[in-house]
Structure 1
Amino acid sequence: MREIRFKDARAKLSDATDEALSEEEFPTTPNGCKDAMPVCWSDGKNLSPGPSRGRLLAASPLVDDDLPDRNGAGLRDLDL
């Protein structure tokens, strides 16, 4: 696997795209760190995000007795 500097990948975007389509993996390295890697569209579609936190909480098996009661006293005063 070879590395390419981000500056070079940006300057030669069509070449980087062709290499990503040819299944050759190569990370781009801005500032010497491996931060990104171009992938073909079909591989990127498989990386779709999972369910949101809201959906995970809504599907949670918790019931009201599992959670502690909230304190209804309101906000506390801050002495600054």
Structure 2
Amino acid sequence: MRKVQLRDAKANLSAVVDQAVRGKPSLITRHGKPEAVILGFADWQRLSKVPSFGRLLMAGPLEVGDLPKRDRTPLRAAGL
């Protein structure tokens, strides 16, 4: 990933965006510190797809018999 100073990115925004669209993201720095990343929309979509917790659970390799049976005996009194 190439580093670009903010002032240079502002002056050449079209070129920075064109490179990002071609799959070459740019790290934007301000005073030498990383501040932002310019990347193509397709890359952003791919990176932002986070599956829901339910989908992650359903994708797991568990079978029906993998989990122990639920204990249905009555609970003891808390005595509060």
**Aligned pairs (5 A) from 1:1-80:** 1-48=1-48
8 Å CA contact 2:5–2:29 kept in 1: the answer is: yes
Same amino acid, percent of matched pairs: 31
Superposed CA offset, 1:40-60 (max 9, x none): 011112343869xxxxxxxxx
Structure 1 runs of 4+ off > 6 angstroms? Answer: none
Question: How large is the RMSD of aligned CA atoms in angstroms?
Answer: 2.4
Unaligned runs of 5+ in 1: 52-80
User: CA separation in 1, counterparts of 2:21 and 2:48?
Assistant: 19
Q: Counterparts of 1:49 and 1:13 in 2: how far apart (Å)?
A: 26
Structure with bigger strand share is 2
Q: TM-score scaled to structure 2, two decimals?
A: 0.52
Structure 2 residue runs without a partner (length 5+): 52-80
The total of aligned residue pairs comes to: 54
